[in-house]
Structure 1
């Protein structure tokens, strides 16, 4: 039976176990409005003793929808249905609506292909500095790039050619390449994610191939990446540029057995397609792929054979096959993709080969090598090889981060996780300033319309350039509006003023504490999981149907309800806070018991299902260090999930207990098998 599915992101609420709650910091009272009577001191009124300014409330989510709100929702739906006539009928009626910038966005995005440039520029000028203008500009740039109107594109793009979306950056390089500039080196660094290429990056690759800046080796690399990432379209386009029928590349990705049956081919490009098919086949039948590679080995060059073994090694590593290390040795010397480099390192970790761990991490590109995970593991490799000073320097680099690897680095340095002292309370004046922020006001209106994605975009846009005090005030405004996910995400942006009441809140403690106590569960672990699952969004619902704070799947909820004697369970009960916590906590307790009290395995089981967690454990031949087990979980989502939950739980424990904590109490050794039979489906 499947476990509850993980939500897209983590999140907390507002009341922690420590004595200082957000309610204690700022009474929910009237806020003095800005006045000309002098500066406000500590939010208590004018410094010169003048009478207080007229009082106002903090910005709030509207309690009810207005007629204009309903018109806006109709306009949005019409835009999503490409009904330009309906949009143009409704738009004039919303000229003074608080979301007028989005009205213009919906109106113009339907006709960007025929809109006059000055009309678009006028809308951008009218709403300059808003999230809607930013979104409109990004979509217009893509249209200008598609038209190859590079003069207008570069006039409007500005810094977006360096820090915009992947496709805008590709169009930026295409514009320069069209003028004859040498951009191949920049393109190689940029083009690493074929599923996200779109027309922009595909055209860039074609242009660079046409003008000779991309060699056959560059195109073969793109074909290899596309195959690894299951990107059929980019594989087709690379094949055409290499002079191979695109259908053969599509077969290699989608139906590798058919492509392999054609044979390895005569040209280098045809053999690369065969190697792509080999790698795809290895994902479903490693044995068949290995037999095929060995059978055709003498018809491949040394480099091609090594690429073939690297493709098999990646599949074997993800499958946690015992032969993966041998496959990587056979691939020695061939350039590896980022995914291959990471899995080669993970297999070296599982095999205890610290020399190889160090070598593979040091060979990574700078950006990948700087990832906290690889900083930590490089430190461990140096430590294993007796280079204590080098190891300590690496651990210090990430120890300030309250994340999984930051906490492990603290442990290596002999220090523990502690909750920081309380920050100065947000003042009434600071909260008033946050309330007056136009983007935050628009975000609150979107939340009132139950348009969370649009609200999040506006909210995040409004945080740009904020000081740490302004961020804390915006987080408090989110709390006042019960937007606990925004409170957490906003507070996480601070670097020196760390408010753990905002970052690690504990809502519904009156429900959760007795439930956890009754089951003997660590409430810090439960809150750590809720924070990851739903960010405390009470009505959160995942794409696969998981619901509520603890993202319980309907089938799981029904099964747990029957086990604990909760009568008359129906699906809608999952949205009730008390029921959701009761079912989720009981399920956590069941998986914890099933995995002998090991939080790593239980957390993985909650996310990926107990069957998968049992399988991963079953592949162990000896006890494994917990951190290595986590790093080598095959599913990237589950790997990140387990890291985040255990780091969250350690932070919550520091807050709840009021004393230093070590993540090592949770990241314990994982044994090959448990003594208990499974109580789970």
Structure 2
């Protein structure tokens, strides 16, 4: 592939997209206004006024505010002042503000401190009047307490406190009073205590369990103690003296929970424990099925010889996406395409009609000698714009079908969305690079729009080059055919230049960036990855041999330089196999080495056997996005032909 500039390469696309947009907006359209110099001045004044308000410099604040009477972010100045002044003395202003901006991002930023103030002042009638759901759990408890003091009867009181009780975590101290009264009314039943123990064990705060155990009847407190034990050490279920038989149904619940954890840690012990417990505990059919599902998946991942046995114990009606995926991987590993074809043919139409299962039905048919049936499926599947559709087209030697169409909205709709107060506020926050505030306003805007107006909002975000929100907005309504908006040439010149510098395909770098952040420069993940290409600080340090700050990783030029360099290194380490490099970018180089097959394996089969579902989906998405970018900006050609013929080798190290 020639490495000419993205700008040159994409010029035809830019012209086409611009013409298409102009065509849509041409009817009754007015020329777009010249950038408003007054708005630019007001942005500077707003920042100064906000600073003055926070510092209590009232004379300066009032002077600046007087010049901002028509500025979209004026309500945020009023919010800043109301958060600082004595509340009851300004109650009328507070209530007017809350009424005017109820439901908007401005609402809760004032309502929360206002409710805190009213609760502290014991202003119960005002608190009840001004509370809005959902509020915080503290506020909900304060509301119930206030309503109780105002005459709330027992039955609705108990029902409301039930909702507070059923949490797997500790509740705020503001809830103590109503919980104590609720318990005195006899509402804290053994059933409700047991429900909370299960919530605390399964994803909640397990340190709550000993306290909750003490609330159980003496003769079954051993259940709470056992649950607490297996929460940290599921192997404890193997001990016979822990199962006292006083409450067999609840013991079966504990055993089900523990077995599903133990199978991932010590499969041999889990299998032997199950064989023993199945004889003494009354597992329900549902519990047996959920244990079988977990065992089937875990044993498949561990390549255990009993994996197939457990897959067979899960009925087709009970197969979820995860179990089905591992059943597919098991058949592919064994190269048992006859069983694979039979299983897919037996799936309910709602599942078997999915692109993944039609593709593998075709592959299984092809490999077992029924090429006519395979080609019929491939032909239909090749019409779709997804990973399996592109693979089907490659197998037929056909071009890819993008099925794209423009976002067709009227000028009236577009201008209506543009002039919505939340849209105007979002735009101003973007200009001020306050993206969290901008997204809050944008999310509120979307709740006020219908389907057609959502399209207009997506077009508007694209016009603002706010690409992550344009992509997300279309995804919200399931409108995926606006390919040019969903796959923009964002940071095109930067990505092209950096890719050319390190010798990788720019469309690959674009696809990675689209999948990692949807072109959100301030993106960050729970794992600590930052910026456009989601670089971990530890990775950045290795690549640069120097410390790189979070702030630097949010700078596009720094992030893209690091991301493309890292891609090139991974690509080189895998002998220019960009599929394995893509998997490594997500999961890590050494993980992918662990996943290499024992013998040469077709790429599509290897992808389905990637143990991490996140990496498996990631690879499929990046390959698909790369093809779309290639089609939009390079011309015709199916990059999936490389995948169709690719064999993953046992050794690249």
| Shorter-chain TM-score tier | 0.5 to 0.7
Give the secondary-structure state (helix, strand or coil) at the position aligned to 1:633: coil
Q: Aligned-pair distance for 1:464?
A: 5.7
Of residues 519, 524, 541, the one that matches 1:541 is 524
Q: How far 1:642 moved relative to its partner?
A: 1.8
- Residues 341 and 364 in structure 2, CA contact (< 8 A), matched pair in contact too: yes
Structure 1 unpaired stretches of 5+: 1-12, 30-38, 46-52, 125-135, 150-173, 179-193, 200-214, 563-567
Give the helix-richer structure, 1 or 2: 2
SS across alignment from 1:281: helix
Answer yes or no: is the 8 Å Cα contact 1:418–1:661 preserved in 2: no
Find the counterpart in structure 1 of residue 627 from structure 2.
650
Partner of 1:624: 601
Question: How far apart are the structure 1 equivalents of 2:482 and 2:111?
Answer: 42
Report the RMSD for the aligned CA atoms in angstroms: 6.0
Alignment of 1:207-222 (within 5 A): none
Map 1:505-544; keep pairs closer than 5 Å.
Answer: 505-544=488-527
Q: 1:671 aligns with which of 634, 642, 648?
A: 648
Cα distance between partner residues in 1 of 2:302 and 2:123: 54
Instruction: Decide whether the 8 Å contact of 2:384 with 2:403 is kept in 1.
Output: no
Alignment match, 1:579:
558
Matched, 1:597 2:584: no
* Counterpart pick for 1:278 among 242, 254, 259: 259
CA contact (8 A) 1:341 1:364 kept: no
| Cα distance, 1:533 vs structure 2 | 1.2
- Counterpart position of 2:390: 407
Q: How far apart are residue 539 of structure 1 and its match?
A: 3.0
Cα separation, 1, equivalents of 2:264 and 2:593: 20
Corresponding residue number in structure 1 for 2:422:
439
Residue 661, structure 1, aligned to residue 642, structure 2: no
1:105 aligned residue? 108
Structure 1 stretch 55-64 or stretch 251-260: which is displaced more? Answer: 55-64
2:648 is paired with a residue whose SS is coil
Equivalent-residue separation in structure 1 for 2:421 and 2:450 (angstroms):
17
**Post-superposition shift, 1:295?**
6.2
Residue 143 to residue 356, structure 1, CA distance change in 2 (3 Å): farther
Is the contact between residue 588 and residue 602 of structure 1 (CA under 8 Å) also seen in structure 2?
yes
User: Residue 400 of structure 1 contacts residue 406 of structure 1 at CA under 8 Å; is this kept in 2?
Assistant: yes
The 5-angstrom pairing of residues 341-360 of structure 1 reads 341-354=324-337, 356-357=339-340
After TM superposition, give the deviation of residue 514 of structure 1 in Å: 3.6
Larger relative contact order (C-alpha < 8 A, sep ≥ 6)?
1
**Counterpart secondary structure, 1:416:** coil
1:279-300 deviation digits (Å, cap 9, x = unpaired): 3122122233334445667657
- For 1:164-183, list aligned pairs within 5 A: none
2:612 maps to which residue?
A: 635
Change beyond 3 A, Cα 1:195–1:373: farther
Match of 2:298 in 1: 315
Q: Is the 8 A contact 1:357 1:381 kept in 2?
A: yes
CA distance in 2, matches of 1:356, 1:99: 60
Q: 1:336 to 1:578 in 2, by over 3 A?
A: closer
Match of residue 17 from structure 1: 10
Looking at structure 1, the residues matched to 224 and 265 of structure 2 have their Cα atoms a distance apart, in angstroms, of 23
Alpha-carbon distance in structure 2 between the residues aligned to 1:334 and 1:497 = 30
Question: What TM-score, normalized by structure 1, do the two folds share?
Answer: 0.65
Contact residue 292 and residue 314 of structure 2 kept, 8 A: yes
Deviation string, structure 1 residues 86-108 (Cα, Å, up to 9, x no partner)? 88889947966996743433344
Secondary structure of the 1:439 match is helix
1:252 to 208, 212, 230: 230
Looking at structure 2, the residues matched to 71 and 353 of structure 1 have their Cα atoms a distance apart, in angstroms, of 72
Give the conservation status (yes or no) of the 8 Å contact 2:502–2:568. Answer: yes
Cα 1:285/1:421, change in 2 over 3 Å? closer
Q: TM-score by structure 2 length?
A: 0.67
Maintained 8 Å contact 1:646/1:666: no
Deviates more, 1:414-423 or 1:645-654: 414-423
Q: Among residues 439, 446, 460, which one is paired with 1:456 in the alignment?
A: 439
Task: Give the Cα–Cα distance (whole angstroms) in 1 for the partners of residues 609 and 54 of structure 2.
Answer: 46
CA, structure 1 residues 481+668, in 2 after alignment: closer, same or farther (shift >3 Å)?
same
Shift of 1:606: 0.6
Question: Could you tell me how far 1:612 is from its partner in structure 2?
Answer: 1.2
Query: What SS does the aligned partner of 1:507 have?
Result: coil
**Counterparts in 2 of 1:658 and 1:68: CA distance versus 1, 3 Å:** same
- How big is each residue's C-alpha offset from its partner over 1:26-73, in whole Å with a ceiling of 9 and x where there is no partner? 8999xxxxxxxxx9835147xxxxxxx987769989844446756999
2:297 and 2:326 in contact (8 A); partners too: yes
The answer to whether the 8 A contact 2:513-2:532 is kept is yes
- Using the TM superposition, give the Cα deviation of residue 360 of structure 1 relative to its aligned residue in structure 2, in angstroms: 5.6
Q: Is the 8 A contact 1:58 1:432 kept in 2?
A: no
Does structure 2 conserve the Cα–Cα contact (< 8 Å) formed by 1:434 and 1:473? yes
Indicate the residue corresponding to 2:71 in structure 1.
none
How far, CA to CA, are the matches of 2:125 and 2:33 in structure 1? 43
Maintained 8 Å contact 1:260/1:274: no
- Is residue 540–residue 549 contact of structure 1 (8 Å, CA) maintained in 2? yes
CA drift of 1:350 comes to 3.3
Indicate conservation of the 8 Å contact 2:462/2:470, yes or no: yes
**Could you list the per-position Cα deviations for residues 524-574 of structure 1 after superposition, in whole angstroms to 9, with x for gaps in the alignment?**
111100111122122333333322221222222222224xxxxx7643543
Q: May I ask how many residue pairs the two structures share in their alignment? A: 579
User: Which string of whole-angstrom CA distances, capped at 9 and with x for unpartnered residues, describes residues 241-300 of structure 1?
Assistant: 999723322433332123433557343442442343233122122233334445667657
SS of 2:27's partner is coil
Query: Does 2:588 match 1:588?
Result: no
Q: Distance in 2 between matches of 1:317 and 1:399?
A: 31
Measure how far apart 1:349 and its partner are. 3.9
